[in-house]
Amino acid sequence: MTPLSPDRTARFCVADQAVAVGIWINAGLMVMKLLAGCFGRSEAVFADGLESACDLAAMLSTMIALKIGRKPFDQKHPYGHGKAESIAAIMVSLVILATGGGILYRSIMTIMEGSSVEPRLIAVLAALATIVVKETLYRYTRSVAGRLESPAVDAVAKDHRKDALTSVATLIGVGGAFFGATLMDPLAAVLTAIFIFYIGGKILLGATHDLMDGQPPRDWIVAVGTMAERVPGIDHVHEIRCRRSGQYLIIDLKLDMDPAMTVKESHAVSVAVKRTLFEHFPNVGDVMIHINPHEEAHEDLIRL
Choice among 60-69, 122-131, 258-267 with the minimum mean pLDDT: 60-69
190 & 289 share domain: no
Which of the four pLDDT bands, split at 50, 70 and 90, describes residue 271? very high
pLDDT of res. 1? 40
Q: Is the pLDDT of residue 268 over 90?
A: yes
Average pLDDT on 22-36 reads 87
What percent of the chain is predicted at pLDDT more than 70?
92
The CATH number of the domain where 260 resides is what? 3.30.70.1350
Domains identified in the chain, total number:
2
What is residue 239's predicted lDDT score, i.e. its pLDDT? 87
Q: Is the pTM of this model over 0.75?
A: no
Bridge partners (DSSP) listed for residue 293: 257
The DSSP code sequence of 80-124 is -STHHHHHHHHHHHHHHHHHHHHHHHHHHHHHHHT---PPPHHHH
Same domain, 64 and 172: yes
Of 156, 178, 211, which residue is a domain's last?
Answer: 211
> In this structure, are 97 and 245 located in the same domain?
no
Geometric angle at alpha carbon 24, from 21 and 26, rounded to 5°:
100
Whether 171 and 74 share a structural domain:
yes
In a domain, 120, yes or no: yes
Specify if 302 maps to a domain: no
CA distance 200 to 97: 5
Q: Is residue 1 part of a domain?
A: no
Q: What is the predicted pLDDT for the residue at 264?
A: 92
Return phi, psi of residue 192, to 5°.
Answer: -60, -45
- Cross-strand partners of 257: 293
Structure confidence at residue 3 (pLDDT): 44
Domain presence at residue 191: yes
pLDDT at 45: 83
Beta strands in the chain (DSSP E): 236-245, 248-257, 284-293
Question: Which pLDDT value is given to residue 91?
Answer: 81
Question: pLDDT tens-digit profile of 80-105?
Answer: 777 887 888 888 788 888 888 888 88
Q: How far apart are CA 162 and CA 130, in angstroms?
A: 11
Which of 178, 196, 211 is at the close of a domain? 211
Statement to judge: residues 98 and 174 lie in one domain: yes
Give the C-alpha separation, 164 to 166, whole Å: 6
- Single out the residue in 182, 211, 240 at which a domain terminates: 211
Q: What is the pLDDT of residues 159-195, one digit of tens each?
A: 788 778 778 878 888 888 888 788 887 887 788 788 7
If asked whether residues 13 and 118 sit together in one domain, one would say yes
**pLDDT at 272 exceeding the cut of 90:** yes
CA distance 153 to 172: 29
Write down the mean pLDDT value for the chain.
Answer: 82
Q: Identify the CA nearest to 225 among candidates 237, 241, 242.
A: 237
Q: Which domain holds residue 279?
A: 218-293
* Assigned domain for 303 exists: no
pLDDT value for 5: 52
